Chain A
């Protein structure tokens, strides 16, 4: 299995809702990432998990809460979002250890906040 899966594909939520995005990989990767991509812009890194521990938080607002319950799964919990948070949310993973590794990206979840 050489892919990263993300669910749901699309999500529409109100500003008072609580929802979660899910990302899964079964490649044995021990680093996982969340990116946010606005329309016609490049992806921007949000969070990095290494060995199930949060290693990088790019000053993301607390209404985004990541969670890595095990080495295969990465969640992004959403609460009290704003319309400007509407974007494509991408998950990625990469192998552990130093070296020249690529990140494998999932297809993304397209989020619309009303």
Chain B
């Protein structure tokens, strides 16, 4: 059963911020939200993850609402190479082996 819902597609202009939303209203308190992206059917690439607090790394920022029912992935300055399918994912389990439950993904098109 999908734990996340995402819009099927979005677009943004090159150089602008891309804001990708995700709903996860049934997430449990100890379940992390992960984001991966997949380009041209290559292997998924890790972007960022978080639990409660907002997170930022060199690729993106993750904003999680206080009630944890939704989050937004922000690519601050999108480039053409950011065109990909972005998956919002819930992690189940905290030990050495765990499950990533993928959402259906958002196809992001970055326009020149």
Q: Which residues of B contact A100 (CB under 8 A)?
A: 32, 49
Determine the chain B residues whose CB is within 8 A of the CB of A55 once the complex forms.
97
| Given A42-B103, A88-B41, A107-B42, A102:B34 Cβ within 8 A | yes
Contact A105 B45 (CB under 8 A): yes
User: Looking at the complex, which of A12-20, A45-53, A59-67, A74-82 is the stretch in contact with chain B?
Assistant: A45-53
B102 touches A4 (CB 8 A): no
B contacts with A, residue count (CB < 8 A): 23
Q: Assess the B43–A105 pair: CB atoms within 8 A.
A: yes
Return chain B residues, CB-CB under 8 Å to A49. Answer: 97
B6 to chain A, nearest CB (A): 10
What CA separation (Å) do A88 and B85 show in the bound complex? 15
Interface string of A12-52 (1 = CB under 8 A from B): 00000000000000000011010001000111110011110
Instruction: Answer yes or no: B95 CB below 8 A from chain A CBs.
Output: yes
Contacts of B45 in A (CB 8 A): 105
Nearest A residue to B32 by beta-carbon distance?
A100
* A90–B96 CB distance below 8 A: no
